[in-house]
Structure 1
């Protein structure tokens, strides 16, 4: 613009100065920026985490996944303990002199041996109550307890068949010699026959344990938080990246292999040593 005292001067463009009322940041705008920052920062942090290489992601979550694997091992050990105790009694019941007891024990063994383990697991999970009352005291039954009991049922049936087969494999001359020495049937069974059956039962018993240890991952289907469940949760926490699927589940596969393979080799070694093949 031309000044009043410069009638012939060139027009001059003055710098733009915003009014003070418009230059200030309004409170509504400040709250809007804060809200956008609150939403954007977690997204940025998640994007930074998702950029980790697959190996670093596995190493990052390895302690948590190994905790879940230890829970799998604990479930397998407890199921094996319960199943061995119950299976020993069931196997001896199949050798009882009474025909009724022998047939009932045989029927129970065949049912639990020839039913899928996952079906037994669902059977126990949905039919066993969430809590029981003992002498007026309520005892909760969490999912992992019911899953342990569900896994112990096929163990019981397989151990019963192992006990029956081991006792039957002892030569009848052992029974006849013990009877000639005036031993009772119970004394013959517990003092003479079963001690000889220990080495016959050990290799197949270890095979059953290896199978139950690998089958504990089925507990994830019924809501038990074990290694497979944690692996799926970790994969989801990392944004569900497709390239993490194989490393995470491969880590679970490696853990079970390193645990079960030595059991398999030890079983084969015991079979060769005891000559039970």
Structure 2
């Protein structure tokens, strides 16, 4: 028996209510764990001269948040770069010229199936620390820019595959109809095919942005002053007290959770909307 729209909407409504209930409990559990970590750290440092874990965290909070802003800047710039390059690489995968199609597929699969940390090491060591301009001036390349380029590469391969899959999912009858109307291949892609691909590509695109943002702390390996690196520097400046580890790192978890989780919920909502 086929589902009626009314029954389908009721099922989606039930799933949405259950999801909201689970989401609320998850956020509550995370906040409770953070509170318990502060209490545990305060108990370990009770009677000692150093300030409590909460006081230490509040002192270094602006410094950590400044690093978190750099995480977000790297994620946005990397996603913009990956999107533009990935769209071009994805369109090359559906080219009628087999050398273009074969080479773009090789690059796509190479980037998609390579470890992010390996790509990060390669880019960080291959890109120069500075560029000499024609007038003799030297322009330094910050490490966070090199890390941004490295994070964009694997996502570019995934977006290329998203574009290829979205274009291939369009019924072939639309290509034939456009050809019957004397549209060129470029006009068909630009005016008919790609506008329909946008809705299909947005949910996976948002998922990859969330994954990219969660991967930016790897830049701390190369002393990029993002949130994790700043938190480690703050703990060292506070005396390298072991009781600070759990509260500080759990606070970082809460930061990324507060930013990423709404994106995940929005992605889920878009998937339901477009599935309808």
- Global fold match (TM > 0.5): yes
Provide TM-score, normalisation by structure 1. 0.80
Q: What CA distance in whole angstroms lies between the structure 2 residues aligned with 1:50 and 1:231?
A: 21
What does residue 230 of structure 2 align with? 230
What does residue 139 of structure 1 align with? 139
Q: What CA distance in whole angstroms lies between the structure 1 residues aligned with 2:158 and 2:199?
A: 17
Residues 50 and 239 in structure 1, CA contact (< 8 A), matched pair in contact too: no
Q: What CA distance in whole angstroms lies between the structure 1 residues aligned with 2:239 and 2:130?
A: 37
1:142 CA displacement: 1.3
Q: What CA distance in whole angstroms lies between the structure 2 residues aligned with 1:123 and 1:220?
A: 15
Q: How large is the Cα RMSD of the aligned pairs?
A: 1.4
What does residue 13 of structure 2 align with? none
Query: How far does the alpha carbon of each residue in 1:29-63 deviate from its partner, in whole angstroms, 9 at most, with x for none?
Result: xxxxxxxxxxxxxxxxxxx9962111121122111
Give the greater-gyration-radius structure (CA): 1
Query: How far does the alpha carbon of each residue in 1:242-277 deviate from its partner, in whole angstroms, 9 at most, with x for none?
Result: 11100111111100000000000000000000018x
Query: How far does the alpha carbon of each residue in 1:196-225 deviate from its partner, in whole angstroms, 9 at most, with x for none?
Result: 000000000000000000000000001211
User: Structure 2 matches for 1:86-101, cutoff 5 A?
Assistant: 86-101=85-100
1:139 CA displacement: 2.2
What does residue 59 of structure 1 align with? 58
Q: How many residues align?
A: 229
Q: What CA distance in whole angstroms lies between the structure 2 residues aligned with 1:271 and 1:225?
A: 35
What does residue 169 of structure 1 align with? 169
Q: Which residues of structure 1 form unaligned runs of 5+?
A: 1-47
Q: What CA distance in whole angstroms lies between the structure 1 residues aligned with 2:238 and 2:48?
A: 7
Q: Which residues of structure 2 form unaligned runs of 5+?
A: 1-46
What does residue 80 of structure 1 align with? 79
1:134 CA displacement: 3.6
Residues 50 and 238 in structure 1, CA contact (< 8 A), matched pair in contact too: no
Larger relative contact order (Cα-Cα within 8 Å, sequence gap ≥ 6): 2
User: Structure 2 matches for 1:1-277, cutoff 5 A?
Assistant: 51-136=50-135, 137-275=137-275
Q: What CA distance in whole angstroms lies between the structure 2 residues aligned with 1:257 and 1:171?
A: 39
Q: What CA distance in whole angstroms lies between the structure 2 residues aligned with 1:50 and 1:253?
A: 28
Residues 80 and 155 in structure 1, CA contact (< 8 A), matched pair in contact too: yes
